[in-house]
Amino acid sequence: MGDPLPPLIQIPERISDLAATQLGRSIKLSWTLPKLNTDGSAATTLSRVEIYRLRERSDPVATLDSKHFSEHAVKWMVLNKVNFDAYQEGDRIVLSDSLQDLDTSEVLQSMFAYAIRVLNNKKQDAGFSNLVSARVYLAPNPPDSIRFSFGEEFIKLSWQPPILNIDGSPVTESVKYNVYRATIHQARVRERLTSVAVSQNEFQDTTMALGQVYFYTVRAAIDSKEGVVESFDSKEYEAKNVDTYPPRAPAEVTAISDGSSISLVWLPNTEEDLAGYYVYRSGVERDFKRLTPQAITTASFNDRSVEKGNIYHYRVKAMDKMGNESADSEEVSEKVE
């Protein structure tokens, strides 16, 4: 028992990291949800996020006026708590304003300002987030017709460059490209493989793993006054680099007889997926047969099934875990005396 206390007012903290970037003819918004309330308690009563938008025909670098925004902005979208997970990318909420209510000419002539409010289950909030603005620059459409070629250590992508911009005009500016990859079809979060946009119409993914299915998209990119502007994602393309690549042939095979057996040694292979080696032998008939029913894991073999006075010929092959066999090693011969 004690003195009565005022009721707790658990209002989520104001969001301060709202960001807006252009993607094609859309604007991508992202932010982190508050973890605390204004009183320092955990923000466990979040109910929804309201997104407000203001379209202006003005200089996109002009300073935003919060009073003007609050008086003229309209509620563009409401994101309820039950939908938060669907828009989660890492630790941020990400969604796109496709500007579907405007035609492309209007989009290119406007500046768009955004702010958001996060409300608790009593419809209380701490006010608008930071204000952000974005202008949609004339950007190219994404590249098309992505093709793949494969090597043991890479997947190579090549594509047709875009010929039209988002408004249907011909592409005249220098275009670069960013390549994105995921291991899930239509993944919301993709890994960007290009640390810097590439100017060639091709890219080699050297971080891929053999046998893994990947889903690739490519975006065209141009430089603008506000930095690099990307196109929409290209169509998603699936690729899998199947491990059909054999190990190298064993090298420096040496045969030595001690009078009752012949010992073979060679340089060990260094492939990470090496499973072992097969040893083949022939007599004077030159008909090589495998001596080792199972792959041996050491770079040596002792052949005790020999007879004095005979000459034996040997070859060694390496095999990987996918069952790919190398070419024959150089042939070596030894006589038992």
Per the domain annotation, does 8 fall within a domain? Answer: no
Residue 63 CB partners (closer than 8 Å, separation 6+): none
Neighbours of 85 (CB within 10 A): 8
265 and 165 in one domain? no
Per the domain annotation, does 7 fall within a domain? Answer: no
257 and 184 in one domain? no
Terminus-to-terminus CA distance in the chain, angstroms?
104
Split at pLDDT 50, 70, 90, the class of 6 is: low
89 and 118 in one domain? yes
311 and 230 in one domain? no
Which residue, of 105, 135, 165, is where some domain finishes? 135
Q: What percent of the chain has pLDDT above 70?
A: 97
Split at pLDDT 50, 70, 90, the class of 65 is: confident
Domain at 111, CATH number: 2.60.40.10
Which residue, of 73, 103, 135, is where some domain finishes? 135
Per the domain annotation, does 14 fall within a domain? Answer: no
Interval 72-102: pLDDT, tens: 999 999 999 999 999 999 899 999 999 988 9
261 and 194 in one domain? no
What integer pLDDT is reported at residue 2 of this predicted model? 73
pTM exceeding the 0.85 threshold for the entire prediction: no
Total domains in the fold of the chain: 3
Per the domain annotation, does 2 fall within a domain? Answer: no
Sign of the torsion formed by the C-alpha atoms of 189, 190, 195 and 196: negative
Do 21 and 28 contact (CB within 8 A), yes or no? Answer: yes
Which residue, of 221, 240, 259, is where some domain finishes? 240
Length of the chain as a residue count: 337
SS3 110: coil
Best CA proximity match to 134, nearest among 161, 153, 115: 115
Q: Which domain holds residue 232?
A: 144-240
Q: Determine phi and psi for 85, rounding to 5 degrees.
A: -60, -35
Cα–Cα–Cα angle for 315, 317, 321, nearest 5°?
A: 165
Sequence letter at residue 87: Y
Report how far residue 320's alpha carbon sits from residue 325's, in angstroms, rounded to the nearest whole number: 7
Q: Determine phi and psi for 199, rounding to 5 degrees.
A: -95, -20
Neighbours of 5 (CB within 10 A): 6
SS3 87: helix
Per the domain annotation, does 6 fall within a domain? Answer: no
232 and 258 in one domain? no
**Interval 283-288 mean pLDDT:** 90
Do 334 and 256 contact (CB within 8 A), yes or no? Answer: yes
74 and 102 in one domain? yes
Split at pLDDT 50, 70, 90, the class of 58 is: low
